[in-house]
Structure 1
Amino acid sequence: MSALLNFIRSNKLNGILLFAIYFIVNLLFLTKYGIRQSFVPLTILIIFFSGGNLLLFSLGKWSWLEKVWTRKSVYLLIVFITIAYIAMCHVMKDPYKMNIDRWATLEFSVQHWAKGEYIYDTPNFMGNLSSYLPGQLLLSSVFYFLGNVGYLQVVAFLLFSYVVFLEFKSNFHRFLAIGMLGISLAYIYEVVCKSDFISSFIAVAAFIVFWNRMFKDDYFKRSFLLGICIGILCLTRSVVIIPLIIFLLNSFLKTSWNNKIKFGLSFLLTVVILLASVLLPAKSIEHVLQYNPLNLQGQSNKFVMLFFMILSVILSFYVKKIETVFYFSAYILFFVMLSFVSEQYVTLGFSYQNNFFSTTYLAACLPFCIIGYCYTKQRME
């Protein structure tokens, strides 16, 4: 464990590896879709992509660019990316013609949920079943009623930008973090396809930054409100529990019994209400056991998840600064999803065209990876 902590304290090596993860995740998306087109050879795309990422990695080393990193330039970057994202939300209008079921599944899941119908046994037009947890349905419902679930990712980007402004005082670090997410191929894919996957992890990363800034001395100062927030977040994606454990477990064990009880009651009440909203319409308990979101959404087998959960619990006792939460979360989320992808490849084969879809899950670590990388840049200055 001491070796791991020494590595985390080594900002230069830590920063290189975090950026490497960012690069790998986006490179996989480039490979995934670059291989499906014939306009530009994949080799050329990879060369240009690698060169662009090398420039991005080297940005802070060019002193003559310091005048560019102003508050105004950061605002302009946010406005430009937001407008581009809104436009991207309207690029794809027919999921049936494009053979993509991301937003179609989200739309009909929210629609069924709002009508009080059971959503986990109804296949979409591609024959896939919905695996949305009620927390994600709750967050997505606002944008469903606005008429475009793709706006969820636009708002998630703005939320990410807001917490970056809160956390980093240097306009360079703000520009870097917002730019890295804004040009990320993995996130652009989410926006174009009106998906919702990365938004869950942005919400958790944003919550960790915000809660740390508001209640740095005592995370359980507003324990009842904290329980509600954690209850909703835990029911977006099952894997988000990992960064939340790293962030809160040690503080939970140290807080008073009064705070523990308030937190536990509000957390359980929130979870019960949300789960009841999706499970009560089921025909029977047997039906729930056969068709439920945890079975359909699982990103790895139980033993792998148990290992990473135990590792998260252990690491939570070594967290002294908020930066460490993001370092640990980025690495663990990446390896959790990598284990899932590897398992799928072993099971289904290594055909890029047919079985490369599962690499989408690797993007779960991106919000933590980007913020963690900017922390290392900040500490090296």
Structure 2
Amino acid sequence: MEITKSDKDIQGVKDYIVLFIYIVINSLFIIKYGENYNIPLLVFYVVAFPVFGLLYFKINLRTVVYKSLFFSGIFCFFFISIYLNYITDGNSLNVDRWSALEVGIKAILNGEYPYNIPDHMGRESSNLPVLIIIGMPFYLLFGSVGYLQSFCFLLFSYLVFKIFNTYKERLAVLLLLLFSPAYLWEVYVKSDLFSNFIIIAGFTYLVWGKLNVKKISKPDLVSFLAALVMLTRLSSVIPLIIALLRKFYDFNAKEKIRFALLFILTAGVVIYIFFQNVPDLNTFIKHNPFMIQGAKQPLFLSILYIVIAVFLSFKVKSFYEVICWSGMLLFVCVFVAFLIYIAKYGYTNTVINSFFDLSFFNMSIPFLLISIGYGFFKNNHLRQ
């Protein structure tokens, strides 16, 4: 397919928008958590980032240098993240994502209903069933769900290795992750949100790049995995729609029915396992993760984002476009809610007093990182 100059110009604008979003998210974390040094840190970050980026593009070293730095970076950060999780007392943190996940795991293992039990901060879990399942091995084997971050870091590193062709490209994306204040905050507070969307990005790559849904006649595995991914977090529906809806539309009638039935059956079984111990209907209505996650923004906005995702699904032509639009739309979802909070409560309450949880912005970062790598390194491969 021939790429016109106009297409290249539009693509270039999109690449810089994605990079700008990445900088904005990390700047918000510096502003909030930089304490007395937030302004100097912010100035340094905003100035140093483009300077380092230009130098990285201009300087070309031997492949063995990039390769060594890439693998040593993975090795070192993996063990640093494990050590950090080990020495950090989760109960001392004012973040309860790890605690909410462990509460859900303990409840399921004890045959209890997991959504009406308070965590260490007195709040109830909003984790969907499959995320609790994903966290179980780390709790059972290592005694903490915080180690999920370390192993999802390895998953992201593997995705970077598979997606990009050269070690210079791979190292660049890895550095963008390791020098992201938003991601480092996630690792420190043992949060599962970033890991959740690394898994979703991995699923997107698997479906688009490996299974090639359009060509397989029995997409059972895709349907099964899509149901599981959707039951990790409600917002996962955005990348799922963008990546799969057009593919589903291309199936014949028999394939559509088979896909839909297996999707519903998988979701139904998982939901039954997690909700079978609910004491009564009133408890379910007041204490369930769907209501908690869905209450983050007005319903009409959620519907609007789904409509946009449907539209994008019929427009995307490559894995890059799926990843890029997923990251940008996830950012918009959170950013609009963020602006609503600022208008309602003011900047100080929203950001400094934590009326709004900035970590929601991290849903988009795994997609943004891959998009930045594609946009600035793989321009010749964008529409393959």
State the match for 1:21 in structure 2: 21
Q: SS state of the match for residue 360, structure 2?
A: helix
| Counterpart-to-counterpart distance in 2, 1:108 and 1:30 | 30
**1:336-351 map, 5 Å:** 336-351=333-348
Matches within 5 A, 1:240-279: 240-279=236-275
Change (3 A) 1:284 1:217: closer
Could you report, residue by residue, the CA deviation over 1:274-315 in whole angstroms, capped at 9, with x for unpaired residues?
Answer: 111222211112221221111111232211010010011011
Q: Specify whether residues 46 and 235 from structure 1 end up closer, same or farther in structure 2 by C-alpha distance, changes over 3 A only.
A: same
Label 1:329 to 1:196 Cα distance change in 2 as closer, same or farther (>3 A): same
Counterpart of 2:331 in structure 1 is 334
2:146 is aligned with 1:150:
yes
Structure 2 residue 68 is the aligned partner of structure 1 residue 72: yes
- 1:61-140 matches, cutoff 5 A: 61-65=57-61, 67=63, 70-95=66-91, 97-140=92-135
2:187 match: 191
Letter in 2 for 1:47: V
Q: Is the deviation greater in 272-281 or in 240-249?
A: 272-281
Alpha-carbon contact 1:30-1:46 (below 8 Å) kept: yes
Could you tell me which of 178, 182, 202 is aligned with 1:182?
A: 178
**More off after superposition, 229-238 vs 351-360:** 351-360
Q: Name stretches of at least 5 consecutive residues in structure 1 with no aligned partner.
A: 1-5
Structure 1 residues 226 and 16: alpha-carbon distance in aligned structure 2, compared to 1, 3 A threshold: same
How far residue 223 of structure 1 moved from its aligned partner, in angstroms, is 1.3
Aligned to 1:361: 360
Residue 118 of structure 1 deviates from its aligned partner by 1.2
Instruction: Tell me the distance in 2 between the aligned counterparts of 1:184 and 1:221.
Output: 41
TM-score after normalising by structure 1: 0.91
- How far apart are 1:49 and its partner, in Å? 1.8
Q: Hey, what's the Cα distance between the residues in 2 that align with 1:123 and 1:158?
A: 31
Letter of the 1:369 partner, please give it: L
Q: Is the 8 A contact 1:134 1:236 kept in 2?
A: yes
Gaps of 5+ in 2: 1-5
The aligned residue for residue 289 of structure 2 is 293
Q: Which moved more, 1:299-308 or 1:346-355?
A: 346-355
- For the residues of structure 2 that align with 1:221 and 1:265, how far apart are their CA atoms? 15
Tell me how far apart the structure 1 counterparts of residues 256 and 102 of structure 2 sit (CA, whole Å).
Answer: 37
Q: Distance in 2 between matches of 1:59 and 1:374?
A: 16
**Residue 191 of structure 1 aligns to which amino acid in structure 2?**
V
Percentage identity across aligned positions?
29
What residue in structure 2 maps to residue 3 of structure 1? none
- Cα deviation code 1:231-268 (max 9, x no counterpart): 11001110011011001100101112232222212211
Q: What secondary structure does 2:214 align onto? A: coil
**CA deviation digits over 1:138-195, x for unaligned, max 9?**
1111111121211111111111111111111121111111221122111111111111
Deviations 1:17-43 (A, max 9, x none): 1111111111111111112xx4xx322
The count of corresponding residues between Structure 1 and Structure 2 is 371
